[in-house]
Amino acid sequence: MKDTGVMTDPVPHDRNAQRALRAHEIVHILEQQIRSGAYRSGMRLPTVRELAEQYHVNKNTAARAYQILEQRGLIDVSRGRGAFVCAIMEYDRSTLQQQVERFVQTARHSGLSRSQLMDLIHNAVHQSYGSDAPRVLFVECNRRDVETLGDEIESIADVPMDRALLDDVLRDPVTPVHRYDLIVTTFQHLGQIRQAVPSSARQRVIGVLATPSHESLLALARLHVPTFGLVCDSPGTVESLTHIIRTYHPNSAVIPVLIDNRTRLHDMIEQADAIVVTRSCRERLLALNPALPIITVVFTIDQQSIDFLRRRLEETAQMNAMQG
């Protein structure tokens, strides 16, 4: 088996080991240490410089982490003195759970709908925690892309993002609308999600353009064979990659196959001279041990989409600040 693809190793499960920590991840670590008592009330935290050195990040990232912790009421930051742990009120979790359940029952008996109740809770959380940062959800149709593309967008846009699979969002489109300020997906799924969510929330669903990387296109352009097999996990990707292959190789045939169609997949392997496969399908294809050249297509987010997303994030943060 000859693999000419530019992506040869599976995406590691430990994403944090592959890149520098971001502000919200440092926040999570410090919050756990504060709540566990490792940092007690009144204790002085490391300086911004020391925190940046400790986690191998720049000072802006460290300062942002302290800003978020201060907004959550966990620390007090004073210019010239540093950051100190605030006193944390202890509470009985079971008692709090009972209070929440009584509140939900009261809301239900009062005639509030599920969405109205979620709005009330969200507004209360925003007012209490004081976070203006937009809550963002990234949606894709497969686990590999939801992680890799989500990581790319999160890193470039410098904003924390939760992840969700497309099928889960389509099954319950209302909950994400109430939990997140923005829902980001690729153009391929933009129409599906906008149709699924309430009409009032459609403007909060943002599409980004995911295109094959330069390395993927270069590998494809250099490979000349009579018949290409094409393996993807969605019809939309099949259509777009078929167009690209035929543009580069107008005299070549293309046999497109969805990865879940095992019968057609085996037939394609018998007929093709080379295979083009998306990264999300690569491992399942290699499990069949095809003795053919393989090009693995890696998608990346184009710059215009990133610029647009950044503008929407800034606008949303400003709106959150005004509402707070």
Please state the pTM of the whole predicted model.
Answer: 0.59
- Cα distance between residue 118 and residue 134, in whole Å: 17
- For tokens 């890149």, the residue is 19
Tens-digit pLDDT profile for residues 76-112: 888 778 889 987 665 667 778 888 888 989 988 988 8
Contacts of 291 (CB under 8 A, 6+ apart): 1, 2
H/E stretch holding 297 reads: strand 293-297
Of 290, 271, 257, 277, nearest to 5 (Cα)?
A: 277
Locate 202 and state its tokens: 């459609």
For residue 290 the two structure tokens come to 């095809």
Q: Is 264 helix (H, G, I), strand (E, B) or coil?
A: helix
In tens, the pLDDT along 205-261 reads 999 999 999 999 999 999 999 999 999 998 989 999 999 999 999 999 999 999 999
**pLDDT for the residue numbered 167:** 94
pLDDT of 63: 86
**Gyration radius of the chain over CA positions:** 24
pLDDT at 229: 98
Q: Which amino acid is at 143?
A: R
Q: Hey, what domains does the chain have and what are their CATH numbers?
A: 16-85 (1.10.10.10), 98-129 (no CATH), 136-210+302-323 (3.40.50), 214-297 (3.40.50.1860)
Q: Token digits for 218?
A: 């270069």
Residues in the chain: 324
User: What pairs with residue 140 in β-bridges?
Assistant: 165
Query: What is the token pair recorded at 238?
Result: 């099949």
Task: Kindly give the parts of the chain with pLDDT less than 50.
Answer: 1-19
* Model pLDDT, residue 9: 33
Residues 6+ apart with CB under 8 A from 124: none
Of 280, 230, 227, the residue nearest 256 (C-alpha): 230
**Helix ranges (DSSP H) in the chain:** 23-36, 48-55, 59-71, 93-109, 114-129, 143-157, 166-171, 174-179, 187-196, 214-222, 235-248, 262-271, 279-286, 303-323
Full DSSP string of 154-166: HHHHT--EEEEEH
Q: Give the model's pLDDT for residue 70.
A: 84
Q: What is the pLDDT of residue 36?
A: 80
